Amino acid sequence: MLDQPSEGLPPPRSIFDLEPLEQGGEVARRGLGFQDHVVAGLCIDALIDSPIKEIWCETHDDVMLLLEIHSGVGLQVEFIQVKGSELEQLWSIARLTEAEATGDGKGVGKCIVEKSLANDRCQEACCFRIVTARPINKDLEPLSLARNCEARIKAANELAQLATKLGEKLASVRSPNPDNSRICRQKKASSVTNMLTRQCLE
């Protein structure tokens, strides 16, 4: 039973209304809350009916999935970048291919697509995804369609045009995988046709 409030003092506030005494943990995890939601959704997918066999967090990428594909491909690795920051503009081809600053902020780093392709260095087949808090513009809408769904198959022309535009901007980008016949040549021009860019929890 709760103690009665002292004479003249206001009653205690609900836990839902109280500010934490320390903010350290919240500050340290700033920006990771969105990623937590993404991972939680993937865990639910894995429990229901999904090819997801393992979920790795903060290893090779923000999130990495091991997928068991039953189409002769065998084990497939999916690298997921999670972008929880709210941009002042919609995600676009220009934003995807824009070089980001290096960690120390003193140089020019890689664009988001380059960062994803840099992980393509294993013997397993790879695919890529970007999950964004901010919506995408019309040009990228075909990438928001689930892989192998009927709507995405029907959007083959739009995806091909998008791959061409991205290939023009990323002509020098190569996958580090030495199997050029299987990966590098294919991904030079169409690297992001395998990348699903979508708003989380849609």
pLDDT of residue 73: 67
pLDDT of residue 74: 79
pLDDT of residue 43: 94
Does a structural domain hold residue 51? yes
Q: How far is CA 79 from CA 7, 61, 122, 158, in A?
A: 60, 6, 12, 23
DSSP bridge pairs for 192: none
pLDDT of residue 79: 93
Does a structural domain hold residue 24? no
Alpha carbons 17 and 4: distance in angstroms, whole number: 19
CA dihedral (68, 65, 131, 127) positive or negative: negative
Domains: count for the chain: 1
Do residues 152 and 145 touch, judged by C-beta distance below 8 A?
yes
pLDDT above 90 covers a percentage of the chain that reads 18
Task: Provide the domain limits for residue 182.
Answer: 30-199
Does a structural domain hold residue 7? no
Does a structural domain hold residue 121? yes
Alpha carbons 109 and 36: distance in angstroms, whole number: 26
Does a structural domain hold residue 5? no
Per-residue pLDDT of 44-103, as tens digits, reads 999 987 889 999 999 999 999 999 877 666 789 999 999 887 667 888 888 888 888 776
Does a structural domain hold residue 168? yes
Per-residue pLDDT of 8-49, as tens digits, reads 788 888 878 878 777 666 666 666 888 899 999 999 999 987
Does a structural domain hold residue 125? yes
Does a structural domain hold residue 127? yes
